[in-house]
Amino acid sequence: MSDILDLLVILTPEHLPTLRRRCPRCDTETVHRCAERFRVNGNGRRLDVWLLYLCDGCGRTWKRTVHTRARPEALGADLVAFERNDPAAVARVAFDPAGVPLDPVPFQVRGPEDLPVAPFRLRLRMDPPFPLRLDQALCRVLDLSRSALVKAVDRGIIDPGGRRALRRPAAEAGAIRVDGAALSARPCAPGSAPEAARPAGSSRSGPA
């Protein structure tokens, strides 16, 4: 029977991501913010669905395509969610990076105030799921610079499945084994990481 502690940390984005695109009215690239509303347009037995964004500069609406000429039955329960502007559906689409470059989003960390000084398994939960690389998540959660994180991975102090795994989405990570004793004994132990190691615009939150 394993005596290794399981540690759950929840990562929560502080707001929906913005994106930058050229606004025809402003005649320049501007920040666009999600209006948290869908638009559903019917054309016979086919539906078009968009998520709406507003230009920061002039308020012009931009429609981000979600579905094109879709059959209502193919959308299933999603159609009701779109028509009701369901917050979960809005977040799911807004955080989907497919085809749309998203600005980085600051996020909060909820978990124990102090890390165990013993081996433990770290599990990350994204609530809701949002684009974030595993190295960015671990630097924030463990309060390490990226160089210190890579060294700890190379030495087996942190085991996410190899150095290459650090570039994968944090949402796809399984249990990450951490040698808490070895981590706390290092010069770059939690609490000493430089600010540059954290994602731009993020701030450390208190424990849940």
- Is 74 inside any structural domain? yes
pLDDT at 4: 84
pLDDT band with cut points at 50, 70 and 90 for residue 183 = confident
Residue 207 has pLDDT above 50, yes or no: no
Within a domain: 207: no
Q: Is residue 126 part of a domain?
A: yes
Residues 34, 84: one domain?
yes
Nearest Cα to Cα of residue 53 among 67, 68, 38, 41: 38
Q: Is it the case that residue 7 has pLDDT exceeding 80?
A: yes
84 and 29 share one domain: yes
Cα separation, 14 vs 177, whole angstroms: 27
Would you tell me how many other CB atoms lie within 10 Å of the CB of residue 181? 12
Whether 39 and 121 map to the same domain: the answer is no
Regarding whether 26 and 84 lie in a shared domain, the answer is: yes
Confidence of residue 1 (pLDDT cuts 50, 70, 90): very low
The per-residue pLDDT for range 24-80, each reduced to its tens digit, is: 999 999 999 999 999 999 877 899 999 999 999 999 999 999 999 999 999 999 999
Crossing angle of the two packed helices 146-154 and 134-142, in degrees rounded to 10: 100
Confidence of residue 204 (pLDDT cuts 50, 70, 90): very low
| Residues 11, 35 within the same domain | no
What is the tally of structural domains in the chain? 2
Average pLDDT in the 180-207 region? 47
Q: Which residues of 30-62 are buried (b: 16+ CB within 10 A; e: fewer)?
A: bebbbbeebbbeeeeeebbbbbbbbbeeeeeeb
Q: Quick one: 139 exposed, middle or buried, by C-beta within 10 A (0-12, 13-18, 19+)?
A: buried
Confidence grade of residue 184 (pLDDT, cut at 50, 70, 90): confident
Cα dihedral sign, 75-16-143-141: negative
- State how far the Cα of 21 lies from the Cα of 40, in Å rounded to an integer: 22
Q: Is 207 exposed, middle or buried (0-12, 13-18, 19+ CB in 10 A)?
A: exposed
Residues 77, 151, single domain; the answer is no
Q: Is the pLDDT of residue 201 over 80?
A: no
148 and 83 together in one domain: no
Write out the residue range of the structural domain in which residue 119 sits: 5-15+104-197
End-of-domain residue from the set 71, 94, 117:
94
Residues 150, 183, single domain; the answer is: yes
**CB of 54 within 8 A of CB of 61?**
yes
Same domain, 73 and 157: no
Query: Tens of pLDDT along 116-175?
Result: 888 999 999 999 889 999 999 999 999 999 999 999 999 999 999 999 999 999 988 989
Tokens for 113, please give them: 């105030």
Q: pLDDT confidence of 2, banded at 50, 70, 90?
A: low
Do 11 and 23 share a domain, yes or no? Answer: no
Q: What is the pTM of this model?
A: 0.76
| Same-domain check for residues 30 and 128 | no
